[in-house]
Amino acid sequence: MRSLLCLILTAAVGLTLSPSARADDWPQWLGPQRDSVWRETGLMDRFPANGLPVKWRVAIAGGYAGPAVADGRVFVTDYVATEGEDTANPGGRDQRRGKERILCLDAANGTLLWKHEYDCPYHISYSCGPRCTPTVHAGKVYTLGAEGNLLCLEATTGKVVWSKDLKQDYRAETPMWGFCGHPLVDGRKLICLVGGPGSVAVAFDKDTGAELWKALTASEPGYCPPTIIQAGGKRQLLIWPPTSLYSLDPETGKEYWSQPLEPNYGMSIMAPRQLGNILFASGIGHVGAAFKLAADKPAASVLWRGDARSAVYCANSTPFLEDGLIYGIDCDSGALRGVELATGKRLWETFAPIGGKRLPHGTAFLVKNGDRFVLMSETGHLILARLSRQGYDEISRAKILEPTGTVFGRKVVWSHPAFANRCVYARNDKELVCVSLAK
């Protein structure tokens, strides 16, 4: 098996936002609107030659889960192992014992405000820690651990409001690479990727934990986060277990449409991305497609399917769609590619963001800010660059973290950062760092 779990994945649009979320918050995976856009201004035009100013560093334990930043607090999850080790074997599960933790820190100085922890034996591949970024909404924080522990806590105190054990409550087996679908707040609902018979997707009341609806049965749930789009006059919830991409009514779980899309090894990971009436999704094994979304009803037809010479096959990293183009990191090679959305034609590729050479599952995370992109490379470098039809134009780079995770014989940072307060908040398996990008 060549692949492995890619944890910090791609984006959605059209989310209901927290009433308390400020413009400079990053309260969930991929930002306030879950669209990989950082909207703050007053940022550096390029990085200083002597490096970026570090505001604080705090020791934490292992995990792939990115931080969330809201209302002056940083939320991050980790795993303190007491027995067993992470073998970094993509084809086998590790047996480990330890505690999953939810940490709340002061965003200004890194001071620990509270923590909540619980015993959590692991039986997963790549077992360093949790995968899902916390979701902060209206005074509560929602976390999903690698073994299916779903919690709702008071954001100010860490008091548990309600909790679920997805394996026990839904007869769901832990996926090979753990539970990875970042929970999605939509109105009164918390929508989660679960698994088990009839419950690949489950909507809970976000305040009480009561089940509102459940939908779909599949041999395994995959890893793709629940995603909301607007098309055909309807809000649609996209759920991607490894055989087909489904569109559901987010209020009821009723199916609108489905399209076959089956990446290798059950690794449906990236969240589908929409631009206009085109929807794109892809995964390992040169499996990818663009779908034309109907204008008059919830429906989708195949615009094109990719092959070995076309498209980009995203897994670890979030592709970004704009101006009729896909910008994405290819999961087989690590190349950043520019691809025509309407045709799948490759326009250019570069290995510069990951160090200049081809790497299996090479990873860099893309976030748009103004007319440029901020990339977090697996090498621990933060990069400023412009992307266009003509190619990749790097402006600056600076190292902010040491790679600590082991994959395919190399050390990597595979955790999506948060951008808030004109800072970047990024973590590896040893520390969480806050670095200023203010002009």
Characterize the bridge pairing of strands 227-231 and 211-215: unpaired
**112-120 mean pLDDT:** 98
Domain with 308, as residue range(s), is: 54-436
Q: What is the pTM of this model?
A: 0.94
If you write DSSP's letter for every residue of 230-269 in order, what string do you get? EETTEEEEEE--TTEEEEE-TTT--EEEEEE---GGG---
Q: What tokens appear for 51 in the block?
A: 């490096």
How many domains is the chain partitioned into structurally?
1
**Has residue 45 been placed in a domain?**
no
pLDDT level of residue 394 (50, 70, 90 thresholds): very high
Q: What pLDDT, on a 0 to 100 scale, did the predictor assign at position 401?
A: 98
Neighbours of 46 (CB within 10 A): 10
**Has residue 28 been placed in a domain?**
no
Q: What pLDDT, on a 0 to 100 scale, did the predictor assign at position 318?
A: 87
pLDDT level of residue 24 (50, 70, 90 thresholds): confident
Q: What tokens appear for 165 in the block?
A: 């054990």
Q: Residue 266: what are its φ and ψ, rounded to 5°?
A: 70, 20
User: Is the predicted pLDDT of residue 15 greater than 60, yes or no?
Assistant: no
**Has residue 139 been placed in a domain?**
yes
Q: What pLDDT, on a 0 to 100 scale, did the predictor assign at position 17?
A: 39
pLDDT level of residue 428 (50, 70, 90 thresholds): very high
Cα 62 from Cα 78, distance rounded (Å): 5
**Has residue 276 been placed in a domain?**
yes
Contacts of 42 (CB under 8 A, 6+ apart): 422, 438, 439
User: Is the predicted pLDDT of residue 59 greater than 50, yes or no?
Assistant: yes
End-to-end CA distance of the chain: 46
**Has residue 343 been placed in a domain?**
yes
Using one digit for the tens of pLDDT, what is the confidence trace for 291-319? 999 999 999 999 999 999 999 999 989 89
pLDDT level of residue 396 (50, 70, 90 thresholds): very high
If you write DSSP's letter for every residue of 23-83 in order, what string do you get? TT-B-STTTTTTSSB----SB-SS--TT-PPEEEEEE--B--PPPEEETTEEEEEEEEEEE
**Has residue 160 been placed in a domain?**
yes
**Has residue 319 been placed in a domain?**
yes
Cα 199 from Cα 438, distance rounded (Å): 45
Q: Residue 169: what are its φ and ψ, rounded to 5°?
A: -75, -25
Q: What pLDDT, on a 0 to 100 scale, did the predictor assign at position 118?
A: 98
Percent of the chain with pLDDT over 90: 94
Query: What's the mean per-residue pLDDT of the chain?
Result: 94
Q: What tokens appear for 254 in the block?
A: 């009723």
**Has residue 239 been placed in a domain?**
yes
Burial 373-392 (b: 16+ CB within 10 A, else e): bbbbbbbbbbbbbebeeeeb
What CATH number is associated with residue 77?
2.130.10.10
